[in-house]
């Protein structure tokens, strides 16, 4: 995903990576903060089952980027010209 972000924003790669890292770290901190109360409420098994279901349900988005990523890049390049 890092390569895709730099590829999409090739004119400002440092800014794109900095924004990506900021969002990634904020999401990681939020998820880490949410796991402990979930374990207390649901138990370990259901908490990690819920996380696995959430990750599995997001997998089609990765396939969408894999299939249409090059097309989206070409559209962005043609729009800039």
Q: What is the pLDDT along the chain (81 residues), one digit of tens a residue?
A: 788 888 778 889 999 999 999 999 999 999 999 999 999 999 999 999 999 999 999 999 989 988 998 898 888 888 877
Tally of domains within the chain = 1
Tokens for 25, please give them.
């770290």
Q: Could you list the residue range(s) of the whole structural domain that residue 58 is in?
A: 2-80
What's the rounded Cα separation, in Å, for the pair 59 and 67?
13
Sign (positive/negative) of CA torsion 16, 17, 18, 19? positive
In the prediction, which pLDDT does 46 show?
96
């Amino acid at each position: 995903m890092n390569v895709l972000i730099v590829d999409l924003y090739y004119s400002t790669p440092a800014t794109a990576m900095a924004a990506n890292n900021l969002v990634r770290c904020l999401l990681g901190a939020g998820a880490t903060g949410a796991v402990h109360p979930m374990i207390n409420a649901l138990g370990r098994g259901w908490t990690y089952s819920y996380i696995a279901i959430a990750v599995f349900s997001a997998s089609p988005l990765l396939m969408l980027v894999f299939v249409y990523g090059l097309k989206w890049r070409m559209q962005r390049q043609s729009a800039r010209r």
